[in-house]
Amino acid sequence: MSKAFEIGDRVRLTAVPPYFKTAEPTPMLRPPNVVRLGEEGTILDRQPGDYWSVRFEKGAYLIENKYIARAAEQPTGDEPARSNPSSDEPS
């Protein structure tokens, strides 16, 4: 059964594929370390064969369903805690 994402959904990379394919008119293959495990991106478009165009920090890539999950569904425990921006202000 395929996961149902919608354009604009925030997703998290849950596993690293052997390579990344750019979501461009002339796609190129990129090494697996171009996107970090646990990095969040935004769904841009649906592609044939259970692939999604996802915008990450370093570009847009075609990602298969099995490598992504909704960001709210699966937070990873190995990411450092993010500080509250308002707490960074001097008192």
Which CATH number covers residue 38? 2.30.30
Is 89 part of any domain? no
Is 33 part of any domain? yes
pLDDT at 86: 53
Q: How far apart, in whole angstroms, are the C-alpha atoms of residue 14 and residue 38?
A: 6
Is 66 part of any domain? yes
Q: How many domains does the chain have?
A: 1
Is 81 part of any domain? no
Is 82 part of any domain? no
Q: What pLDDT band is residue 77 in, cutting at 50, 70 and 90?
A: low
Is 41 part of any domain? yes
Q: What pLDDT band is residue 27 in, cutting at 50, 70 and 90?
A: very high
Q: What is the pTM of this model?
A: 0.73
